[in-house]
Amino acid sequence: MYELEITKQFSGAHSLTGYPGDCRKLHGHNWQVTTYLQAVELDEIGIALDFKILKKELNEVIDRFDHVYLNDLPEFADCNPTSENIARIIYRELSARLNDDRIRITKVSVEESPGSRASYFE
């Protein structure tokens, strides 16, 4: 089994409805997203998946989160834009784009500040 890991960043603001502290107020983070992909075998030239492809797909998924108020996005109409929910959304979108019989997204981690990270996997 092979595993690839890439990390990309985006900056965004949010507020957490119902939160009993300061995070209920508008504030921002420089979010760091790490994506993990596993491959059962390599392709004919010895690559699980070209890093350029994985980076491109991740960029396309997270670009809509960059420099916006996350609460305004349709994905968060029924839930708070927490690290946990962001990780789930990215995981499912990347899985739909990339998973096949040879490779699959295994986990997405979202860090909102150094040392504070949430992960999602199925």
pLDDT at 47: 96
pLDDT at 3: 98
Residue with tokens 């784009």: 97
Please count the CA atoms within 13 angstroms of the CA of 62 that sit on its side-chain side.
28
What pLDDT is attached to residue 17? 95
Whole domain around residue 116: which residue ranges?
2-120
Q: What CATH number is given to the structural domain containing 98?
A: 3.30.479.10
**Mean pLDDT of successive 10-residue stretches along the chain, which has 122 residues:** 97 96 95 98 95 97 97 97 98 97 97 96 97
Query: Structurally, how many domains does the chain consist of?
Result: 1
The pLDDT assigned to 87 comes to 98
Write down the pLDDT at residue 103.
96
pLDDT attached to residue 93: 98
Q: CA separation (Å) from 74 to 7, 26, 31, 80?
A: 24, 18, 19, 11
